[in-house]
Amino acid sequence: MIPVLLIVIPLVSGLLGFLIKEEKSVKVWSLFTSILTMVVAILGIAFLHKPEYLQTDVAWLPSLGSRFSLTMDGMSKLMCLLTGIAYPGIFIATWNATYRNANKFYALMLLMQTGLMGVFVASDALLFYFFWELALIPAYFLCSIWGGERRIAVTFKFFIYTFVGSLLMLVGIIWIYFHTADRSFAMSAFYNVNLPGNVQGWLFWLFFLAFAIKIPLWPFHTWQPDTYEQSPTAVTMVLSGIMVKMGVFGILRWLAPVLPVGLWGWGDPAASMCVIGMIYASFVAMQQDDLKRLIAYSSIAHMGLMGLAIFVTSSIGIQGVMVQMFNHGINIIGLWIVVELIERQFGTRKMSELGGLAQKAPSLAIMLVVVALANVALPLTNAFIGEFMMFNGVFGSKASNYHYIFMVAGGISIILSAIYTLNMIQKVLYGNTSTLTANARDIRVNEKFVLVVLLIGIVVMGVYPKPMIEATKHAVDAIYSKMFIKLP
């Protein structure tokens, strides 16, 4: 029931949104329906624990053995919660932004939410693929119509990149389908399929490419900074806060438990790619002057760590990834909100043209500092617990022979991330005011509201992460047991 609602509410409201012509009403409408979705998501996660509320299973393609089956386990719940909370937050934070053809913009945003929710709750491989692609189409139109100057070429690159990955994954899905016991796309059938090690090896790459492009891992990351930079900020928030998590989520749900031997065999090369990406992205981030690009590269580094924690196969690492998927989503959306506020007020995102904001706009400054420090995983912030668990997992990994090297390299990238983040804070908030920032004013009430809620969330989750860990504990155990049970 709950997962169906999570898909249907945004779908229907998105389709209706196309019909609402007036800008103000469509804004109110999408905010209202996204809050509705959020309420449903919270209900499903916090209060309704009976399995019949959290599962749906109807016949879809009987001749193919594919069912419209949705399930919410701990990991799904967390991601649905993130998607549910993020949307109203994004809508409120960008309330003052104006778009040409606003109704289409908001309608496509809501349709994208449908795809995202679908990916997180689908427990049928074909259905998963369906939603995986459906989330991409609205993103393509959103970025291409409302993006910056180079939007068309950049978004096209993004689309083709991800499409190649998805198609390779589709080949993998079909291959496994033919080797399931009773020719079924169901998740349970996929989990119980027994494939020889070498087959798992090359199937691993088919799936891995799809997810690696989405996350994105080095060297498949080249679409990401451009797309983040060119997209309208609201879309960037969804892309970086939620959509890239689809890749990590996909690995945890459809790669690790299905092809454990493949992952075990190729874990080290994959982990190496993550580590190289982390360090490389951190160095590139240090060179950036544009705030959006800086955050984009910092996101590559942080997502790389999540990949690393999965590929070294450790229980606590996976636990950390789940927690971090949620927290990173919150933090990076917070960062984008601040960047959006800065850009809208001063018309620039260049750090060299900003400065001295701490005096002129103290609230904005506090927000930026807290969110940025959360992004570098300072203790007491939410990201700390996730990154700590992931590093713990990498350190104690039994599956990888090189985990100490990964550990050290990952640690270096965290240090680098502190350097570029603090450097950013310094350049934007302190120093002399420039001509642009001389008359800066502080942020509006609605923006303050979203940011304060975010800050409270960041601190509360940083101090008391227990509910999140408990909610996902079961999912972690399920995945980890699948990953380890079949190891030769």
Partner 1 sequence: MNAIVISAVLGVVMMFSGVLTNSKTAVRTVAIIGLLGLIVANVLDMGGYHFFNVNVKGMLSFDVFGLLFNTIAFASTWIYFLLSGRDMERVGINLAEYFALIFFVLCGIAIVSSFNSLLMLFLGIEIISIPLYILTGSDKRNLKSNEAALKYFLMGSFSTGIMLMGITLLYGVKGSFDMDVIRAGTTSLTPMITAGLLLLLFAMSFKVSAAPFHFWTPDAYDGSPTVFTSFMATIVKVAGFIAFIRLFEGCFGDVKGQWQLLAAIITAATLFIGNITAVFQQSVKRMLSYSSIAQAGFMLFALVAMNDMAKEGMIFYAAAYSLATIGIFAILLKMKDYTFEGFNGLAKRQPVLAATNTIFLLSLAGIPATAGFWAKFYMLSAAINDGKVLWLVIVGVLCAAISVYYYFRVIQAMYFKDGEPQDIETSKGFRGLLIGIAAVVVLLGIFPHWLLDQLSNFLYL
Binding site for partner 1 (CB under 8 A): 60-64, 129-130, 133-134, 137, 141, 144-145, 151-152, 156, 159-160, 163-164, 167-168, 170-171, 174-175, 177-178
Using the structure block, give the residue that is written with the tokens 């039994």.
398
Q: What is the Cα–Cα distance from 137 to 125, expressed in whole angstroms?
A: 19
Q: What's the DSSP call for residue 217? A: P
Least Cβ distance, residue 16 to partner 1 (angstroms):
16
CB closer to partner 1 out of 47 and 178: 178
Beta strands in 53-198 (DSSP E): 55-61, 66-71
Closest CA to 30 of 46, 16, 42: 16
Least Cβ distance, residue 133 to partner 1 (angstroms):
4
Closest CA to 243 of 140, 320, 340: 140
Q: What's the DSSP call for residue 228? A: H
CB closer to partner 1 out of 142 and 365: 142
CB closer to partner 1 out of 48 and 168: 168
Cβ atoms of 276 and 220 within 8 Å: the answer is no
Buried b (16+ CB within 10 A) or exposed e, 124-141: bbbbbbbbbbbbbebbbb
Helix (H, G, I), strand (E, B) or coil at 148: coil
CB closer to partner 1 out of 106 and 177: 177
CA 414 vs CA 189, 219, 302, 466: distances in Å: 39, 19, 9, 24
CB closer to partner 1 out of 174 and 408: 174
Least Cβ distance, residue 220 to partner 1 (angstroms):
14
Least Cβ distance, residue 22 to partner 1 (angstroms):
18
Q: What is the Cα–Cα distance from 455 to 420, expressed in whole angstroms?
A: 21
Least Cβ distance, residue 203 to partner 1 (angstroms):
11
Contacts of 464 (CB under 8 A, 6+ apart): none
Least Cβ distance, residue 177 to partner 1 (angstroms):
8
Q: What is the Cα–Cα distance from 233 to 414, expressed in whole angstroms?
A: 26
CA 211 vs CA 22, 148, 230, 255, 458: distances in Å: 39, 26, 22, 9, 27
Tokens at 364, concatenated: 């904005």
CB closer to partner 1 out of 20 and 78: 20
Least Cβ distance, residue 126 to partner 1 (angstroms):
8
Q: Which of 415-420's residues contact partners 24+ apart within 8 Å by CB, and which partners?
A: 416/279, 416/282, 416/283, 416/285, 416/286, 416/301, 417/282, 417/285, 417/298, 417/301, 417/302, 417/375, 417/376, 418/376, 419/286, 420/282, 420/285, 420/286, 420/288, 420/294, 420/298
CB closer to partner 1 out of 159 and 297: 159
CB closer to partner 1 out of 133 and 442: 133
Least Cβ distance, residue 422 to partner 1 (angstroms):
39
Helix (H), strand (E) at residue 124 = none
Contacts of 366 (CB under 8 A, 6+ apart): none
CB closer to partner 1 out of 258 and 271: 258
Least Cβ distance, residue 60 to partner 1 (angstroms):
8
CB atoms within 10 A of CB 168: 17
Closest CA to 440 of 355, 369, 371: 355
Least Cβ distance, residue 113 to partner 1 (angstroms):
16
CB closer to partner 1 out of 255 and 385: 255
CB closer to partner 1 out of 63 and 98: 63
Amino acid identity at 235: V
Least Cβ distance, residue 106 to partner 1 (angstroms):
17
CB closer to partner 1 out of 91 and 130: 130
Least Cβ distance, residue 145 to partner 1 (angstroms):
6
